[in-house]
Structure 1
């Protein structure tokens, strides 16, 4: 038998890592020491007293100490990048709790989106994810469309993007808010939208982190009025009971009206998406029961202004106007009665580029510090991950370097091109315009 020796000009220390089972998995990020930073504590709506030094290793924050004080804990393994932030502000990475990363650019209307080939959706999703991370969203919660496989690809470093919490496809009754098949269609239970945001099927087996149920009508769906209440009580109870039995999975509901919100809550759902038309009484019920609310307010204005004025069909524009008219009032009511409110953008196609506009819209009725909590500590509480949302020892090193304080004007987060100087996710510098803090080479 002939013998073919290995090529003598190959360097083994270059080739060997690529022989691994998953050669795209990256080594631990370089340890960091970020010195002389003004650290934002969104939970307390304040800055830590005086400039701070932050030590980071293996993707976690080791210590946060006043400048000049020895931290007592230092990285064990060199190399270490140490940089003086010269008094810039250090904010926790942002969390968007209502995204659809598979609602990709490249189409002009909802009708085109639901007909986009699945393989093309996968490729375009990588662009959406990368751009979200570069805007400062280090964690996102996808409420219909993403999968466990996509979340794992991000976690392993195969795709650049935010930490991804996903529900698979949202659950819809036939003719409900995730059924985009034409009226009278008999093409099957998953017709119309199974490649995109939702379907009439279960998701726990596929690895969903939580479950979303369409409990009322929606703006973009063609056959249901906003006032419609969807699924029977028994059906929702079956969903929430199964979620509790299968690892106490969180459940949330698409719902705008008092009727649909109460229908969801009465049958065991723990979160509400949108809630634009709720009354004070329903908001008080949510506060009493600890129900999370994720409003999505900026999307309604975005969907009807250039260049997206033709995105919705005429009946969709009417429904859009209906829910937009009371969204800010519902947000104020929810805040006043003590509902835990989270940040959500709910944008589709090329609208993703306006993901930060929600900060500006919410700041028109609420103080900046409260709006920042929506995208940090409140969101972390809903996701049930204590390592998110704050800059403290033991937490993920998900950090933004800013040249202005969002506690004073949260709208600066809506202008990342002006104010966002670096994004650090899991201790890895994703992007940077800070001298001495180079971005790591990413796949």
Structure 2
């Protein structure tokens, strides 16, 4: 029916997709057959030479040798129409996983004090930039340890904004005067959440069992995938020494018990010292962030109890060199030097004890651009194949997604990086994506490509 003169009686076909309820949701990516690939297997530190990867509906349908695939060709009618791309011997690595990021700690400010003054909308818009850049560096999954929300994760999942798959904890939990409390240190002053009550702050303050129960339940209700607790002092916080141990045993047990009861959610703890790490473990925490001051006995205890460790080593050097030499206040620089001095030794101790170690960058503001530097730092003390596992196999295990990410195997998501160099032999090639990263594919969709035949699909 025509409602007014000249109006069309039907919607033009090319407009129909944009009239959907959520027009940004794209159809599944194109199926692909990638041949003549060197397939990186991080779990074993091996390379599958001359292999074919078939990608269907965003997942890996098969990984077989080129020879086997050719023998199947005449019988395999289902794959006849799939577009084939010859990778000419390039290396195909699983998408990288960064287990300690803060995607809402955005660029555009000189330090975290300036960050607290940013309007929430500015943070949200800049977060979209941070996420896209992480994906283009090859990180197809990230675990945000304070600041991000389920709303951001869903926006990425639906394709509203490009970015890595986002695992998030909402806001980290801190006691008053703990690592996540950035309110002014005034006697009798008002109690406020991290970042002066900032709606997009990285953490929130909760004291006593009733408050921490309410806080953890609120974060889980809002869709947190795990919970993070500040259990020791930190570099960037002004009122707590590194040696402090934070939260009581009752408070931590209230949090970890609630996480187990509400869907078996993981609880991880910010902790540098032996005392803080053992306090967290004893009361049910299953992950440790940083751990720079760990000793051999504690590392062995972590390994025997299946406690994950996510060190973040490159950030300490980055925060004190140009152009970030004024990022930390004077007392923060002292604490930074304290934890940096033993960070590499802690990594070696944990590795030798058999702790499952994951990759973490923990960068803020414009430092995000140096996210891959962690590979080079760790490679200074550990073999390349071990460091690669940190950002693939181990990280996927901690996230409970070993069959879906961190692996190139049948049924896994097609999170694939195409490289012109072998990361098993030299993991630092991942720290130079501008030289070595040819393709970034997340769940079968190509987000960047320098290879003919693989077109970007944004």
Q: Same fold (TM over 0.5)?
A: yes
Q: Does the residue aligned with 2:53 lie in a helix, a strand or coil?
A: strand
Distance, in Å, in 2 between the alignment partners of 1:76 and 1:117 is 52
- For 1:199 and 1:74, locate their aligned partners in 2 and report how far apart those are by CA, in whole Å: 56
Cα distance 1:79–1:438, how it changes in 2: closer, same or farther (>3 A)? farther
- Equivalent residue for 1:418? 435
Report 1:341-356 matches (<5 A). 341-356=357-372
The answer to whether residue 189 in structure 2 is matched with residue 186 in structure 1 is yes
1:341 to partner: Cα distance? 0.2
Question: Are the aligned partners of 2:277 and 2:291 in contact in 1 as well (CA < 8 Å)?
Answer: yes
Contact kept, 8 Å, 1:290 with 1:340, in 2: the verdict is yes
Does the CA-based 8 Å contact 1:254-1:274 persist in structure 2? yes
Task: Report if aligned partners of 1:62, 1:74 keep a CA contact under 8 Å in 2.
Answer: no
Shift of 1:180: 0.8
Other-structure match for 1:55: 54
Distance 1:7 1:401 in 2: 50
Query: What is the match of residue 313 of structure 1?
Result: 329
Are 1:270 and 2:286 counterparts?
Answer: yes
- Deviation track 1:15-72 (CA, whole Å, cap 9, x = no partner) reads 2222222111110001011110000100001112x21010001110000010132358
Distance 1:67 1:77 in 2: 14
Match of 1:433 among 422, 425, 450: 450
Q: How much has 1:345 moved relative to structure 2?
A: 0.2
Alpha carbons 1:30, 1:427 under 8 Å: kept: yes
What is the deviation of 1:114?
2.3
Matches within 5 A, 1:235-274: 235-274=251-290
Structure 1 position 374, deviation (Å): 0.2
Q: Can you give the 5+ residue segments of structure 1 that lack an aligned partner in the other structure?
A: none
- 2:91 is matched with 89
> Does the 8 Å contact 2:103/2:130 carry over to 1?
yes
Structure 1 residue 14, shift from structure 2 partner: 1.8
1:28 counterpart = 2:17: no
Normalized against structure 2, the TM-score is what?
0.93
State the partner residue of 1:198: 203
For 2:80 and 2:108, the matched residues in 1 are separated by 44
Instruction: Output the CA distance in 2 between the equivalents of 1:278 and 1:5.
Output: 78
CA contact (8 A) 1:31 1:75 kept: no
Cα distance in 2 between the residues matched to 1:223 and 1:411: 37
Does the aligned pair in 2 maintain the 1:363–1:371 contact within 8 Å? yes
**SS of residue matched to 2:272:** strand
Is residue 402 of structure 1 aligned with residue 419 of structure 2?
A: yes
Aligned to 1:225: 241
Task: State the SS of the aligned residue for 2:54.
Answer: strand
Would you identify which runs of 4 or more consecutive aligned residues in structure 1 move more than 4 Å? 71-79
Distance 1:314 1:9 in 2: 70
- Please point out which of 362, 382, 406 is paired with 1:389: 406
Instruction: Determine the structure 2 residue equivalent to 1:8.
Output: 8
1:363-374 superposed matches below 5 A: 363-374=379-390
SS in 1 for 2:369: helix
Q: Does 1:209 align with 2:225?
A: yes
Contact 2:149 2:170 in 1 (8 A): yes
Taking a change above 3 Å as real, the CA distance of residues 254 and 5 of structure 1, as seen in their structure-2 partners, is: farther
Please give the alpha-carbon distance, in whole angstroms, between the structure 1 residues aligned to 2:250 and 2:81: 58
Structure 1 residue 409: Cα displacement: 0.5
| Distance in 2 separating the partners of 1:215 and 1:75 | 58
Aligned to 2:264, what secondary structure does the other structure show? coil
**Is the alpha carbon distance of 1:75 and 1:282 closer, same or farther for their aligned partners in structure 2, counting shifts above 3 Å?**
farther
Number of aligned residue pairs: 440
Equivalent residues in 2 for 1:93-132, closer than 5 Å: 93-132=95-134
C-alpha spacing 1:238/1:5, structure 2 compared with 1 (3 Å): farther
Deviations along 1:219-249, one digit per CA (max 9) or x if unpaired, are: 0011111011111000000000000000000
Shift of 1:6: 7.8
